[in-house]
Amino acid sequence: MGAYILRRLLLMIPTMIGIMAISFAVIQFAPGGPVEQVIAQLTGQGDSASERLSGAGDLLSQQESFSDETSSRYRGAQGLDPEFIAKLEKQFGFDKPPLTRFLEMMWNYIRFDFGESFFRNATVIDLIIEKMPVSISLGIWILLISYIISIPLGIRKAVKDGSAFDVWTSGVIIIGYAVPSFLFGILLIVLFAGGSFFDWFPLRGLVSDNFWELSWGERIVDYFWHLTLPLISLSLAAFATTTLLTKNSFIDEIKKQYVVTARAKGLTERQVLYGHVFRNAMLIVIAGFPGAFISAFFTGSLLIEQMFSLDGLGRLGYLAVVNRDYPIVFATLYIFSLMGLLIGLVSDLIYTWIDPRIDFERREV
């Protein structure tokens, strides 16, 4: 197993380099980079990024009239002093060749130095940590709710396969899976968050403004009070896949010979189901838990965050892409890709822990 783990870890190196290289190359051809964003804002189309540029406003105000012959490869830069454009390029690091920038970025990322945001005047790590509470809250609770519902429901559906219970629960699951979470979120807002009917739940933030003034019990209530509608919106479809996977796994195991033998020995249905079938049937579900965790943790719904004013990693990543804040874009891509690869390795190790018969040493990576 040690050799297999070592091979997997070594394989992560070219994989990460490939992911980052392809993403970096694509970004080079994307229009509207950070320099163009600042030029547009400084020339009257925005003002948020100008605060990030020390002295840029003074430089622009001191510009004299330049002839129309002054040109630049940046859209909207005609008439601006080439020196001013060069200073912008240097500030954002675009004064270096692409290969040099990529190699410097990868060297910094290996040391987990992700630099500073272009426009937010804060380090990337600080921004990610700041948004973590929302993503942790949504990810962990959705995962727990989905597993708590899915596993018992999947087992019950397997035992009652073909019955009325199995049919109507399958219908509910399929409908829940088909309805977009944001559409269901809108319905919940209309019904319970001050829409046309009731005003029972808040519509903004993870906690109330006076959260730290509350007692511990009141804080817990306030926390879940704010999370109720977002969690319901996201978890509606979250348990569908796990439920059906659990059901199919149990049905496959129930039909095997060892189950017939266990029943012939006089064991009760409960003993057969949970003493023999459960461990084998849950192999796929339990081994997939790390992957489900990382997926729920880092892929929160942007629309749900936006609808319920939850400032999490999803919204951070979206705004970074829109504003061409490349340090945030590449840092989050690097972190999430690395964690995804590590979680894949952990999933394989869990397979071998649950079922020692599985031996990855004999397989080619």
- In the numeric block, which tokens belong to residue 106? 């990868």
Contact indicator for 315, 301 with CB cutoff of 8 Å: no
- In the numeric block, which tokens belong to residue 120? 């937010």
Output the pLDDT for position 197. 80
Output the pLDDT for position 13. 92
What would the pLDDT profile of 242-280 be if each residue is shown by its tens digit? 888 888 888 888 888 888 888 888 888 888 888 888 877
- In the numeric block, which tokens belong to residue 111? 């040391």
- In the numeric block, which tokens belong to residue 274? 């949970």
DSSP assignment of 113-177, as one string?
---B-SSSSSBHHHHHHHHHHHHHHHHHHHHHHHHHHHHHHHHHHHHTTTSHHHHHHHHHHHHHH
Class (C level, CATH) for 125-322? mainly alpha
> What are 202's strand-pairing partners?
none
- In the numeric block, which tokens belong to residue 249? 């796994």
- In the numeric block, which tokens belong to residue 93? 């690091």
- In the numeric block, which tokens belong to residue 123? 């380090």
Contact indicator for 285, 249 with CB cutoff of 8 Å: yes
List the one residue out of 166, 150, 160 whose CA is nearest residue 269.
160
Q: CA-to-CA distance for 350 and 361, rounded, in angstroms? A: 14
Q: CA-to-CA distance for 259 and 268, rounded, in angstroms? A: 11
Residues of the chain with pLDDT under 70: 41-81, 195, 287-301, 354-365
- Where do the structural domains in the chain lie, given as residue ranges? 2-119, 125-322
Output the pLDDT for position 80. 61
Alpha-carbon Rg for the chain in angstroms: 27
Amino acid in the structure at residue 118: F
Contact indicator for 70, 106 with CB cutoff of 8 Å: no
What would the pLDDT profile of 148-187 be if each residue is shown by its tens digit? 888 889 889 988 888 999 999 989 888 888 888 888 888 8
- To the question of pTM greater than 0.85 for the whole model, the response is no
φ and ψ at residue 160, rounded to 5 degrees: -100, 30
Distances (CA, A) of 80 to 20, 33, 37: 33, 17, 14
